[in-house]
Amino acid sequence: LSGCDSGFGQATARHLDIMGFRVFASVLDLQSPGAQELRQSCSTRLTLLQMDLTKTEDIQRVLQHIQAHTNSTGLWGLVNNAGFNDTIADAELSPLSKFRTCMEVNFFGSLELTKGLLPLLRSAGGRIVTVSSPAGDMPFPCLAAYGASKAALSLVMDTFRSELQPWGIKVSLILPGYYKTGTTCDPAFWNLQKQQLLASLPQELLQAYGEDYVEEINQQFIQFMKVAVEDLSAVVNSITEGLLAANPAVRYYPGQGLGIMYFIHRYLPYFVRDLFLKGFFINPKLPRALRREHHNDVKKA
């Protein structure tokens, strides 16, 4: 189970431990508050492992540990939960490095871990449950870097689902609504990210969009965070069902508003979906270069 420092991973590790399972829970930092909390609240069956999904040596060390402890039994389930995003901005304003980091953690890291554990999962005819995002299915405004990585993750897991059927492995995707997890709901974190983004933008882009455009996106996102759901149980239950149900669903959608969102996405014109996503999530103001007062200023000059 990856990404157990906080949020879904931490809550799921605790839940599975209470149910009596032997849980291997990976965390970024063995001394983090989340890791300490798991140590205190869980049984000795739970093993905490340090792993940064961007580091092959970390993944290999975790794979060796799990192999050594499950070789005779195989591994029943893998939960790919670790996820990363630290950019809320238009695709044009998001540095290429941010796209790469999202791909490294959300896609390549999860892919490497999954491939490494497949021999153990095949011998047990087990399960793979992966936490993706509706942002991987739809073009949420200002989430291109994160959404692209989740789109790749969803697709590769769907491919595994089809290819691993003969081995008896069942693969499920979890596409949660908006929940309060980790730094995702800390306004100070996002304010810092906004400052760093503004400092890194080329002058021409800053002129075209305007600093107030980036400020407005950040304000709207912080406002949106206030509706994040604190009770993670719907997601934990979906992950647990993916691991234990005789016939788990291919996709789970825990969270409010996703039914209407996917209905609009599948059955209504694109412009309706785009309007809905802007109304629901972030609706940026016009970039500075497109505003009427800017054109008037240019004419006067």
Assess whether 179 carries a catalytic annotation: no
Torsion of CA 248, 249, 254, 258, to 10 degrees: 180
Angle, CA 22 vertex, CA 173 and CA 35 arms, to 5° = 80
Q: 3-state class of 188 per DSSP? A: helix
Run of H or E including 174: strand 170-174
Residue type, 113: L
Q: Which sign, positive or negative, has the C-alpha torsion 81, 85, 91, 95? A: negative
Catalytic residue among 146, 179, 209, 253: 146
Distance CA(53)–CA(59), nearest Å, equals 6
Distance CA(78)–CA(118), nearest Å, equals 9
By annotation, the residues acting in catalysis are 146
